[in-house]
A and B are shown apart, each in its own frame.
Chain A
Amino acid sequence: MRMRLGWILGLAAVVFVGASFTLASAQAKPIKLGQIIPMTGEAAESGKYHKQGAEIAVDKINAAGGINGRKLQIVLEDDQTTNPGGVAALQKLLEDKEIPMILSSIRSTQVQAMLPTINEAKIPVAIGGTNYGLTHSGSQWVFRFRPHDGMSAKVIAKFLVEELKHKKVASIHASDAFGNGGRDMLVPAVKALGGEVVLDQGYNNQEKDFTAVVQALKKSGATGLNTYMTFGTDLGVLARQIKQLGAQVTWVGSPSITGVDSRNLAGDALYGTYGVTDFHVDASPTSTEFAKAYKAKFGQEPDLYAAWCYDAVLVFAEAMKKAPDLRADNLRKAILNIQKFPGAEGEYNFDQNGDGLDHYHIVQNVNGNIKYFKTLRVAR
């Protein structure tokens, strides 16, 4: 008898607790936002920064009352730094029908692998991959929160050929979608300004010895160098060997040259080099505000990995406010209608392709610190 009483009481408690949970969640059930980051694999180092950038934006939104009274909540999935891993992570997030929008990869090759799935799913996906084709292949559902490589290549060409007067330029690039894409945009941009690409040199990710590459660079007679490198460790090895083998070039790198890990690994081998970056702390009041909040929470300076995720969460949240039914087509329209939105990266004006930005900052490595040099805007 006593046992049966216990059972009844226990059951009642479960029902009661359950009911109170449903009641509470009906009032303010958080809105889920999916985020795909590398937690394992070669790029795991950058995954942490992606996560932290998004967290700052979520904190900001929730502190200001959330989205139409509901809190925002990030749901993380690991892409394992591989293309199949990225697609699997995306599919996993898509299975959760409560997720209206997703932040995906900064790696072009991964976004490319995910594109068919994104187009089939028909929900807005934020990307940080800068390969030009990603937003120019007819997909209506990808929104880019960094300027594309066509712009970075144009800015690099403009800076090297027009401003620094280097007519002979070398291109050293990773032989993946990001590296080859960068090269493909650089070559015509340099030509258009009257310069010449005298060396087109690809290499495989995780290369440990660049002797042959640096020799080809010296032999080419190039005075200006551009790199599109995917991994900080590769950049560290190349920078060291350029210094050791005495190649005299003005180096203007793609954004990875300004990353924390690259600078930490390469040390003084990168002093004096230039880079283009879409994010710099001193570039705008919004960037400075973001950096302050980031430093207060994580004790370190944010980098571009964190910045684009911060912006993507803010812009998506803004779209959710404008389209409270959270239907994909309405969210898409809301994003396209967002004009002059101040982000940490810059001012967002989305075009029909899904590109939000059209500028790049030139920065210089001055004794290990990345100093703001100037901002160049180019035609979309």
Chain B
Amino acid sequence: MAESLSINGQLLFAGLAIGSVYALVALGFVMIFRATNVVNFAQGEFSMLGAYFLFSLWHGLKLDYFAAMALALLIMVGVGLLFEISIYYPLRNRTFLPVIIATIGASIMFQNGALAVFGPSPEKVRPVVETVEGTGGITLAGVFFDYQYVIILLVTVLLVGLQYLFFEYTILGKKMQATSQDKDMARLLGIPVVYMIALTFIYSSLLGGLSGMLVAPIFFVTHKMGATLGLKAFAATICGGFGDVRGAILGGLALGVIESFGGAYISVIYKDGFSFLVLIAFLLLRPQGIFGEKVAEKA
């Protein structure tokens, strides 16, 4: 009994941990979708870039780990702004399709750019908490808690909370929401739409970069890391209902847990299949996502 409890506890923790990584990336999807009604397929690549910037500053320039992280986040601000100016802005008055294709193009460019600059060998980054004995975690009641995953879970919860407060209770958040719901109306009300959208891209880039830095010690840094993350996060976003912050978080966590238990009790080989089965089920049965969309006519 105690054994099965610890086994299931371990699976639950692993699922929540992986799920919170999906959720973090999914948050980025949601932000940009809310502001622009466009899916940013380069969202996973923001994670990859963040991880590589951290690796270069910490391992390459031998900076202090936390200073390197702060600096890398600063660079991600630039990346987000540049992305908005070069990918979204020129196409802002077109339909959503050219923008989506442009983001796919950017994603290919980022991947191959990273391959060209950093080479094909996977790299390693230290975890936030370094332990002496080297397991990087602690065993409580038969369940091993990886500190890095605990931190990822905490960061996810924190960011979700902040994001919720930001959108519901601040003027800036309201302005951004108004922008996403009706750009023309927002413009008439004197909201600087262009700045709002730029701000969203910057925040999404930061979010992606941070998630990449946090998973780097676990998944390792490769030019492909963003693609895998992006795909699962995309599935999570759809389950949660595009544009719904709570839904994206819940979708991410649910996917992680379903994968973890499905892998243990059904089949490890079909693990990836489970998340896409859930995705298909949602598309067929509840395309509006877990909570449904606030503004039905948005899409």
Binding site for B on A (CB under 8 A): 40, 42, 44-45, 47-48, 175, 201-204, 206-209, 211-213, 215-216, 232-233, 236-237, 240, 243-246, 261, 264-265, 267-268
- Residues of B close to A211: CB separation below 8 A: 10-11, 14, 260, 263-264
Partner of B122, one of A40, A45, A212, A244: A45
- Residues of A close to B121: CB separation below 8 A: 45, 261, 264
The answer for the CA separation of A267 and B136 in the assembled complex, in Å, is 13
Tell me if B144 and A201 are in contact (CB < 8 A): no
The answer for the CA separation of A212 and B15 in the assembled complex, in Å, is 10
Of the candidates A209, A243, A244, A267, the one having the most CB atoms from chain B within 10 angstroms of its own CB is A209
Partner of A265, one of B112, B120, B122: B122
Partner of A215, one of B10, B112, B122, B220: B10
The 6 closest A-B pairs by CB, nearest first: A44-B120, A212-B264, A211-B14, A212-B263, A45-B120, A45-B121
Minimum CB–CB distance for A123 against chain B, Å: 29
- Interface residue B272 (Cβ < 8 Å from any Cβ of A): yes
Tell me if A209 and B269 are in contact (CB < 8 A): no
Of the candidates A201, A211, A232, A267, the one having the most CB atoms from chain B within 10 angstroms of its own CB is A211
A202-B268 contact, Cβ under 8 Å, with A42-B224, A264-B124: yes
Minimum CB–CB distance for B152 against chain A, Å: 13
Partner of B11, one of A47, A203, A215, A240: A215
- Residues of A close to B271: CB separation below 8 A: 203-204, 207, 212
Partner of B268, one of A48, A213, A232: A213
Residue of B nearest to A201 (CB): B268
- Residues of A close to B220: CB separation below 8 A: 233, 236-237, 265
6 A-B pairs, CB-CB below 8 angstroms? Answer: A213-B268, A215-B264, A237-B218, A245-B10, A261-B122, A267-B124
Contact with A along B185-229 (1 / 0, CB 8 A): 000000000000000000000000000000000111010100010
A215-B7 contact, Cβ under 8 Å, with A44-B115, A233-B222: yes
- Interface residue B248 (Cβ < 8 Å from any Cβ of A): no
Tell me if A233 and B122 are in contact (CB < 8 A): yes
Tell me if A245 and B144 are in contact (CB < 8 A): yes
Tell me if B264 and A47 are in contact (CB < 8 A): no
The answer for the CA separation of A42 and B223 in the assembled complex, in Å, is 9
Number of interface residues of B (CB under 8 A): 34
The answer for the CA separation of A272 and B38 in the assembled complex, in Å, is 51
Minimum CB–CB distance for A284 against chain B, Å: 28
| Contacts between chains A and B (CB distance < 8 A), count | 91
Minimum CB–CB distance for A241 against chain B, Å: 9
The answer for the CA separation of A45 and B264 in the assembled complex, in Å, is 31
Residue of A nearest to B17 (CB): A209
The answer for the CA separation of A202 and B61 in the assembled complex, in Å, is 40
Tell me if A265 and B268 are in contact (CB < 8 A): no
Tell me if A232 and B137 are in contact (CB < 8 A): no
The answer for the CA separation of A265 and B121 in the assembled complex, in Å, is 10
- Interface residue B146 (Cβ < 8 Å from any Cβ of A): yes
- Residues of B close to A209: CB separation below 8 A: 14, 17-18, 259-260, 263
Tell me if A204 and B272 are in contact (CB < 8 A): yes
Give 11 new A-B contacts, CB below 8 A, not counting A213-B268, A243-B134.
A45-B119, A45-B122, A204-B272, A208-B218, A213-B263, A215-B264, A236-B122, A240-B218, A265-B122, A265-B124, A267-B124
Residue of B nearest to A172 (CB): B268
- Residues of A close to B11: CB separation below 8 A: 211-212, 215
The answer for the CA separation of A245 and B139 in the assembled complex, in Å, is 9
Minimum CB–CB distance for B106 against chain A, Å: 18
Minimum CB–CB distance for B210 against chain A, Å: 18
Tell me if A212 and B260 are in contact (CB < 8 A): yes
Residue of A nearest to B272 (CB): A204
- Interface residue B86 (Cβ < 8 Å from any Cβ of A): no
- Residues of A close to B124: CB separation below 8 A: 236, 264-265, 267
- Residues of B close to A213: CB separation below 8 A: 263, 268
- Residues of B close to A208: CB separation below 8 A: 18, 218-219, 228
Minimum CB–CB distance for B68 against chain A, Å: 19
- Interface residue B170 (Cβ < 8 Å from any Cβ of A): no
Minimum CB–CB distance for B73 against chain A, Å: 23
Partner of A48, one of B17, B120, B122, B134: B120
- Residues of A close to B260: CB separation below 8 A: 209, 211-212
- Residues of A close to B259: CB separation below 8 A: 209
Residue of A nearest to B270 (CB): A204
- Residues of A close to B119: CB separation below 8 A: 45, 48
The answer for the CA separation of A92 and B298 in the assembled complex, in Å, is 49
The answer for the CA separation of A244 and B222 in the assembled complex, in Å, is 23
Chain B, 99-133, CB within 8 A of any chain A CB = 112, 115, 119-122, 124
The answer for the CA separation of A44 and B120 in the assembled complex, in Å, is 5
- Residues of B close to A246: CB separation below 8 A: 139, 144
The answer for the CA separation of A202 and B272 in the assembled complex, in Å, is 13
Minimum CB–CB distance for B117 against chain A, Å: 13
Residue of A nearest to B259 (CB): A209
- Residues of A close to B146: CB separation below 8 A: 244
